[in-house]
Chains A and B, each alone.
Chain A
Amino acid sequence: MLRLVLQPVIYHVDSAGGAMSERFPDMAKRAFSFLEGAGFRLTQIDASQLRYESVQAVVDIVWDARSGELEAFVGQPSSTRRPQDTYSLTDVFGMEGVPDRKMPPQVADENRLQPFVDQLAGDLRAHAQPALVGDRMFFRRLETFRHANAEAFTRRMKLQQVRSAVEQAWRNREFKKVIGLYTSVEGDLSEAEKGKLEYARRHQVD
């Protein structure tokens, strides 16, 4: 008589590179280990952030699990250590004109994070060398670039708000209001808007 015996079988499943169960801090520590050979030491490590420091520079590697945003920041050592004293790799890419790198990657699934962490480490190595050796001129250029970008963003925001307020005022033929609004952003007006401002000036009633 044939008896079929079923034995429990334990399968050991390994993902490629064993990365499936690895957490962000471990992945980042491994990918950025080149920093330790370049005079940096790991001074902070938690579930979402690693900080490396050397005499010349600091590097933060940050992963926001809620949005999935992954970014590296570089800065000069400072006693105040305000986060805004560091510059994102996205800013470095912008300044250096690296194409297709306008936004940091967003990877919410920690299991899929590994290649992006590796890419980030490679990018830092390739594009931020001057920052890693504390090149002051590089940081000054970064500050100027970031400030100009931020100013342009604030101007665009204001222009958008003015445009939407003017739309309403124009419909109501409130030319005094149109003049006030447009004058506050006169340098950023399009040709058509300059024409509208001129028209409002000619037709305003006190």
Chain B
Amino acid sequence: MIGELASALGWPTERQADGTLINPATGDDMTVLDRQRSLGLTVLSVVLPESRLVEGAAARGTTTVIGKVADLKNLAAGEKSLLSRLPNLGSPKANWAQNSGVLRQEMRLGQPIRDATVDSAGQLINNTGFLRAERNLLQCYGWCYNPSSTMWTPPVGP
């Protein structure tokens, strides 16, 4: 049941020897098994945080876009920014921790990420603030930027 649901949502799953389902890309536990022994019932509940639902959407073909806030205002159909998942936590340190975490989630999906803050030739501009840090993060994890497509692509395996 969980496997079917995860599959419908576009999540990759892998069943472990102990019966739990994990996401092989993230190692996250996909199920919470709550045995209601007193009632003699076994209730299987699925953890559905919002980020996972967005991940599911991404896996089904939504392109993630990074860039300065002004450049993320008019995205094409099938594109999404990370902004809706980045509420202001009150300090740049906490905001960056949140921002980098959400970006890492997207990176784990292994889908190309578009950079919207580019000049007419596709070169990366306005390399300051959190955008600079996001680009550094992508680069540190071996992602490559292509000015022709304005896409960051994940590293290919050996």
Contact with A along B127-148 (1 / 0, CB 8 A): 1111000000001001011010
B129→A106 contact, CB < 8 A: yes
CA distance A104 to B144 in the complex (A): 26
Distance, CA A48 to CA B142, complexed state (A): 33
Cβ contacts A48-91/B at 8 Å (1 or 0 each): 11000000000010101111110100000000000110001010
Are A67 and B92 within 8 A (Cβ)? yes
Q: Are A62 and B70 in contact (CB under 8 A)?
A: yes
| B32 located at the interface, meaning its Cβ lies under 8 Å from any Cβ of chain A in the complex | no
- The yes or no answer to A108 lying at the interface (CB within 8 A) is yes
Q: Which of B52-75 contact A (CB under 8 A)?
A: 68-71, 73
Which residues of B sit under 8 angstroms from A67, Cβ to Cβ?
92, 95-96, 129-130
Of residues 1 through 26 on chain B, the ones whose CB sits less than 8 Å from some CB of chain A are none
Say whether B45 faces chain A, with CB atoms less than 8 Å apart.
Answer: no
Least CB distance, A110 to chain B, in whole angstroms? 11
- Centre residue among B86, B96, B119 by max chain A CB count within 10 A: B119
Q: Which residue on B lies nearest to A69, using beta carbons?
A: B129
Q: Which residues of A contact B126 (CB under 8 A)?
A: 88
Give Cα A160–Cα B136 distance, bound, in whole angstroms: 11
A100 at the interface (CB under 8 A from B): no
Q: Which residues of A contact B86 (CB under 8 A)?
A: 66
List, in ascending order, chain A residues with CB within 8 A of B147's CB. Answer: 154
Contact B145 A151 (CB under 8 A): no
Bin chain A's interface residue count. 20 to 34
A125 at the binding interface (Cβ < 8 Å)? no
State whether B95 touches A66 (Cβ < 8 A): yes
Kindly supply a per-residue 1/0 record for chain B positions 83-108, scoring 1 wherever the CB is within 8 Å of any chain A CB and 0 otherwise: 00010101110011001000000000
Q: Please indicate the chain A residues that have their CB under 8 angstroms from the CB of B99 in the complex.
A: 66
Contact A146/B125 with A66-B130, A84-B118 known, Cβ cut-off 8 Å? yes
Interface size class on chain B is: 20 to 34
- CB of B123 closer than 8 Å to a CB of A: yes
Are A66 and B88 in contact, CB atoms less than 8 angstroms apart?
A: yes
Asked if B129 and A64 sit within 8 Å, CB to CB, the answer is: yes
Given contacts A62-B70, A66-B99, A150-B119, contact A106 B92 (CB under 8 A): yes
Contact, CB under 8 Å: B145 / A154:
yes
Are A60 and B70 interface neighbours, CB within 8 A? yes
Contact partners of A90 in chain B: CB under 8 A: 128
Q: How many Å lie between the Cα of A71 and that of B117 in the bound state?
A: 15
Find out whether the CB atom of A161 lies under 8 angstroms from the CB atom of B118. no
Q: Are A83 and B119 in contact (CB under 8 A)?
A: no
What's the least CB distance linking A156 to chain B, in Å?
Answer: 10
Q: Is the CB of A161 within 8 A of B130?
A: no
Task: Using A66-B130, A67-B92, A71-B128 as known contacts, list a sample of 17 further A-B pairs with CB atoms less than 8 Å apart, ordered by residue number in A.
Answer: A60-B70, A67-B96, A67-B129, A69-B130, A84-B118, A84-B119, A84-B125, A90-B128, A104-B128, A106-B129, A143-B119, A150-B119, A150-B125, A150-B127, A151-B123, A153-B123, A161-B142
**Taking beta carbons and an 8 Å cutoff, which residues of B are in contact with A?**
68-71, 73, 86, 88, 90-92, 95-96, 99, 117-121, 123-130, 139, 142, 144-145, 147
Ordered by A's residue number, 5 sampled pairs between the chains whose C-beta atoms are within 8 Å are A67-B96, A83-B117, A84-B117, A150-B125, A153-B127
Which A residues form the contact surface with B (CB < 8 A)?
A: 48-49, 60, 62, 64-69, 71, 83-84, 88, 90, 103-104, 106, 108, 143, 146-147, 149-151, 153-154, 157-158, 160-161
